[in-house]
Amino acid sequence: MIVDMFLPIFPLYRMTLEGIIINTLLDSENYEFANDGSSLTITRTINGEQVEVVFNGQNLNANNMSAGGTFSSITVKDDTGATAAHFTLPGDVQLSDAVNAAFNATEVGNIPPIDIDPTVPGGLYAGEDASVLLALDIFNVLLIQFAGFIQILTGSFFDDVVNSYPVDDSIATQGGDDTVRLSDGNDTIDGGEGTDTADGRTLEAGMTFGITSANFGTAGINASFSLNNIEALIGTEYADIIYLAPGGPSLAFGDDGNDFLYAGNISTGVALHGNDGNDTVQGDAGNDTLSGGEGINQLDGQGGDDTVLYTWATGRVLLDFQTDVSSAGFARFYDNGASQGDTYANIEHAVGGDFADNLRGDGADNRLEGGGVSDRLYGRAGNDTLDGGAGADAIYGNLGADIMTGGPGAVRDRFIYFQANESGVGPGNRDIITDFTPGEDRIELSRIDADISQGFKQRFDFIGDAAFSNTAGELRFEQQGGITVVQADRDGDGVADFEIELTGTLTLTATDFLI
């Protein structure tokens, strides 16, 4: 639903309009709203069978008009999709408060007349300070234009799209997940309940947004905003500066342009998305989510456990938190300073896109997530969480007690080990594979020397669930409650030197391993 005006409260004056496009009271020289005849024009788009429109707290400047008076001029013309009517009132008129009085338009050609019928006692007076002056019942009206004035716009309890206009608006969207499209003017916006968005893409210059207000100082924009209960902010297609802080939005999008997005001092975590352009994106003490989008971006998580997103990427992503790398086979490089891609600091976690990504951690406790195809994830040191997502993934936990997930789909995920010290012994020390499927997935141990007493590298001997026999190089599994533990004895003392924990009670065979 698109809502452009205030919904019903007790009107003093009502008019009924049906099935037309109306350009009403545009001539500020002859008929004036508040503030001595603002020259601004407001355009409304209204959808739905019936919308009641109310203007609050405003005054009209007009002289007296006797009962039974008529408009001095009415012209009607054809327009695309509907009929357009333009009313011009002389400067010495005022609508009276007579009950059931009617003002009738004159038919022009084959265009039917338009009746304006006040049905409620009251009226429009110069100096009036009532909370409601004018209400309209509108049936299938496509476009209405009024001379500019301060107005109150109220949405419904559904998911509304509310268009502000180049006047000073007070907008309350109430319930639902609403979007308020910003424009010129000094607006106060309250999103109410739900997840609400202030959308600046309709503005014609870059945004400078600070704390809970937005100011537009660039030529062509004359606007400021006070935002309450707004959870997300979308910038303009120009170069924006968006600085968030407690009490304001916690989600910001830069849209086009070379944008600066800052988390401010929000310690609970924010999400900042630069989108197109060469953006600077900076978190703060919270656990932030950052995304630069297209362009060469600078990303800094600052404090907390921060995540970079490449879910938007249109090609393969090579991301390395530890080493500068680049490759012509990848669309993006997230590589600590190389000119081919983004630069970063203080970011611990990464989410790839829908291509064959290569994501590599560092010594921190990284979380790396693949996407929809076959990805390679390298945990390096630290207790990492690696999730391949859909596709046949290759997952390297490396050092630390890692948690690894191959992801959905009837495909072979590979869990690959280079050294025996890449998984320990006992709970809290060994790696965990959360979704190993026997006969489908595979644990690769072929790079590990199975018998350290021999002079050359030896392969493991899989013995099923049999006990160790004090022979170096034996590989077995055993079920322990609701888990399955893979164990290897590399020195022949009958005690496991290496373990991997598999979630679930599983029966393994030699084909589940590459040894």
DSSP codes joined into one string, 350-396? EE--SS--EEE--SS--EEE--SS--EEE--SS--EEE--SS--EEE
**Cα–Cα dist 443/406, whole Å:** 11
Q: Which CATH class is domain 417-515?
A: mainly beta
Amino acid letter, residue 219: A
CATH 2.150.10.10 in the chain is located at 417-515
Q: Which of 53-67, 86-100, 107-121, 402-416 has the highest mean pLDDT?
A: 402-416
Maximum average pLDDT range among 130-134, 377-381, 454-458: 377-381
Residue 462 forms beta bridges with which residues?
475
In this predicted structure, what is the pLDDT of residue 271? Answer: 83
User: Contact at 8 Å (CB) between 2 and 161?
Assistant: yes
pLDDT tens digits, residue range 65-78?
333 333 332 232 33
Q: Is pLDDT of 476 > 60?
A: yes
Closest among 102, 98, 126 to 32, alpha carbons compared = 126
Query: For the chain, what is the mean pLDDT?
Result: 68
What proportion of the chain, given as a percentage, has pLDDT over 70? 59
The top-scoring range by mean pLDDT among 139-143, 304-308, 472-476 is 472-476
Give the residue-averaged pLDDT of 430-438: 98
Determine the length of the chain: 515
Residues sharing a CB contact under 8 Å with residue 402, sequence separation 6 or more, in sequence order: 379, 383, 384, 385, 386, 423, 431, 432
Share of the chain above pLDDT 90, in %: 31
CA distance between the termini of the chain: 61
Query: Is the predicted pLDDT of residue 325 greater than 70, yes or no?
Result: no
Which band of pLDDT confidence, cut at 50, 70 and 90, is reported for residue 188? confident
Instruction: Please write the tens of the pLDDT for every residue from 256-287.
Output: 778 888 887 777 888 888 888 888 888 888 89
CA distances 441 to 322, 406, 511, 514, Å, are 29, 8, 9, 11
| Poorest-pLDDT segment among 288-302, 331-345, 448-462, 470-484 | 331-345
Q: Cβ-count burial of 372 within 10 angstroms (0-12 exposed, 13-18 middle, 19+ buried)?
A: middle
> Residues 181-207: what's their mean pLDDT?
76
pTM of the model: 0.66
Cα distance between residue 158 and residue 178, in whole Å: 8
Higher pLDDT, 344 or 43: 344
Helix (H) or strand (E) holding 34: helix 34-37
Among 48-62, 88-102, 325-339, 440-454, where is mean pLDDT lowest? 48-62
pLDDT of residue 136: 33
